[in-house]
């Protein structure tokens, strides 16, 4: 259902985009759930409220709203439903006609959930878009990756293939889920504005296409990035909310200077384009420095003097300055130092250039970093300098530390089934609810200590004792008991975590 609605919506959008000056008058509302959705998930404390931006075209009565996780289901309390025009992009003027406030019951399991809205016998799903937590800890962390370029190179036929970059992404997801950050930030170039078939050994050559009417479509490109394809996982399989910002390649099927159409395409397929996140004392700001225009949205000389700057200032005014302010953007060379100094931005994470880098700018000073790339195709010839890299940023109140670029595997240019991960998790016994005891083994070949690595034991229903780690949470689901354990793993070591039924 979601794919059909998006396709129809995009068709109408492109037909109506006859005049940039007439943009605000001709746009129709977006379809289904717009927030939380894809690029802008939500992190919600149990026992508190959050809002949903929902386009209820026929104004059907909303029957129920549910969060569905892998081992738990949470019925949300609907507090209020407001009807009107709720604009979520001040540049494209895209909006929904319902804003729904819901409350999460206390004590529900912490996990990543699908958001499901039931109305008039149909269900609208926003996959892996809500993370429930019991508290916002002053100590938290995120993983930074960038320039994934999912769908730059295509394997198989146009109508039944997949993005080659998913093979490395899938393997990286295994590593990310062991590290268990509080969130993940991807700083642009999620997909690619052309598709290459029959590439050569370097990831170049072959045939390229660049057009909305040709397969794969823009919907398929973003579906590969978010959901994966052909058995390979997309970023939504990371067990943490993934916040994605636009880059210069994140459009498909229109001219590069058609900024309204590019930004509207993002709205339709990814949701909110510019936003903020308040997490404990940290204020994250996610911006778009490529899709909007350089006059009113992100002016060339002072990017934050335009529409996006107003959004971010309003976010900080509403949520307070916090202790640490972080900006995520794609470009490496376009920072508004006036805004950085005014708001005392402590950190910028960015991409665009694929080599790792660190520098400072402004009076605060603001540290600016990029990690290299985790999976971009076409970089095999210089893989040792840039490929397979990510960073971990750890925050404690107003202070933060960041790792050097970390390579998730030792051989990122090899075939998928030969990739050797630098962080592994194996189980001695079946981990699908058949056992009453088990041993998890974490092998860390990375050159950093990894506090709080996550192990999820799926056991027969019962009460359990754990050694080698701290029980993070434990809950029952039918005949199963889920035990989440945190374990600290030193650099270059192996850590064993055991679980046994209480007698």
Q: Which residue has the tokens 């056992």?
A: 435
Q: Which residue has the tokens 């990029």?
A: 370
Task: State the pLDDT at residue 31.
Answer: 57
Pairwise CA distance, residues 23 & 267, whole Å: 14
434-474 pLDDT tens trace: 999 999 999 999 999 999 999 999 999 999 999 999 999 99
Kindly write down the DSSP assignment for every residue of 170-208, as one continuous string. HHHHHHHHHH--SEEEEES--S-SSEEES--TTS--SEE
pTM to 2 decimal places: 0.95
Is residue 41 left, alpha or beta, with left meaning phi > 0 and alpha meaning psi from -120 to 50?
beta
Note whether 245 and 312 are within 8 A (CB).
no
89-139 pLDDT tens trace: 999 999 999 999 999 999 999 999 999 999 998 999 999 999 999 999 999
35-84 pLDDT tens trace: 999 999 999 999 999 999 999 989 999 999 999 999 999 999 999 999 99
Task: State the pLDDT at residue 2.
Answer: 38
Note whether 494 and 441 are within 8 A (CB).
yes
Name the least confident of 8-22, 105-119, 169-183, 254-268.
8-22
Token pair for residue 472?
């993070």
Pairwise CA distance, residues 439 & 61, whole Å: 49
Q: Give the 3-state secondary structure of residue 110.
A: coil
469-501 pLDDT tens trace: 999 999 999 999 999 999 999 999 999 999 999
Instruction: Report whether pLDDT(19) > 50.
Output: no
| 439: Cβ contacts below 8 Å, ≥ 6 apart | 427, 428, 429, 496, 497, 498, 499
CA distances from 24 to 21, 41, 182 (A): 8, 26, 37
Task: State the pLDDT at residue 202.
Answer: 86
């Amino acid at each position: 259902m979601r794919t059909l609605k998006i396709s129809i919506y995009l068709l109408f959008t492109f037909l109506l985009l006859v005049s940039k000056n007439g943009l605000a008058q001709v746009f129709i509302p977006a379809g289904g759930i717009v927030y939380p959705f894809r690029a802008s998930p939500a992190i919600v404390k149990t026992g508190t409220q959050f809002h949903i931006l929902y386009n209820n075209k026929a104004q059907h009565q909303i029957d129920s709203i549910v969060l569905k996780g892998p081992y738990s289901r949470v019925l949300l309390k609907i507090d209020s439903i407001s009807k009107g025009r709720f604009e979520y992009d001040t540049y494209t003027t895209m909006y929904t006609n319902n804003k729904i406030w819901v409350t999460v019951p206390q004590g529900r399991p912490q996990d990543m959930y699908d958001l499901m809205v039931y109305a008039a016998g149909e269900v609208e799903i926003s996959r892996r878009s809500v993370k429930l937590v019991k508290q916002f800890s002053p100590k938290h962390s995120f993983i930074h990756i960038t320039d994934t370029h999912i769908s730059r190179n295509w394997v198989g036929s146009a109508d039944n293939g997949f993005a080659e970059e998913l093979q490395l992404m899938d393997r990286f997801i295994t590593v990310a889920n062991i590290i268990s950050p509080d969130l993940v930030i991807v700083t642009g170039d999620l997909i690619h504005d052309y598709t290459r078939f029959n590439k050569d050994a370097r990831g170049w050559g072959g045939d390229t296409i660049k057009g909305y009417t040709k397969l794969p479509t823009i919907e398929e490109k973003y579906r590969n990035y978010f959901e994966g394809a052909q058995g390979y996982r997309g970023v939504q399989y990371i067990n943490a909310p993934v916040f994605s910002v636009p880059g210069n390649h994140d459009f498909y099927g229109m001219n590069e200077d058609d900024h309204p159409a590019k930004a509207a395409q993002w709205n339709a397929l990814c949701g909110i384009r510019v936003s903020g996140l308040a997490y404990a004392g940290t204020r994250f700001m996610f911006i778009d420095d490529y899709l909007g225009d350089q006059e009113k949205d992100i002016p060339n000389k002072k990017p934050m003097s335009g529409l996006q700057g107003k959004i971010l200032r309003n976010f900080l005014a509403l949520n307070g300055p916090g202790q640490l302010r972080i900006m995520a953007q794609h470009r490496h060379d376009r920072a508004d130092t006036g805004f950085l100094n005014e708001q005392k931005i402590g950190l910028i994470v960015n991409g665009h250039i694929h080599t790792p880098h660190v520098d400072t700018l402004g009076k605060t000073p603001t540290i600016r970093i990029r990690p290299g790339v985790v999976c971009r195709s076409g970089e095999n010839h210089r893989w040792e300098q840039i490929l397979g890299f990510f960073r971990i940023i750890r925050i404690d109140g107003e202070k933060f530390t960041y790792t050097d670029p970390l390579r998730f595997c030792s051989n990122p240019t090899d075939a998928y089934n030969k990739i050797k991960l630098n962080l592994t998790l194996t189980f001695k016994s079946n981990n699908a609810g058949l056992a009453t005891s088990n041993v998890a083994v974490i092998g860390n070949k990375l050159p950093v200590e990894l506090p709080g690595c996550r192990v999820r034991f799926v056991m027969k229903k019962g009460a359990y004792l754990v050694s080698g780690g701290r029980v993070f949470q434990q809950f029952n689901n039918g005949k199963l008991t889920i035990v989440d354990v945190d374990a600290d793993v030193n650099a270059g070591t192996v850590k064993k975590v055991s679980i046994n039924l209480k007698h």
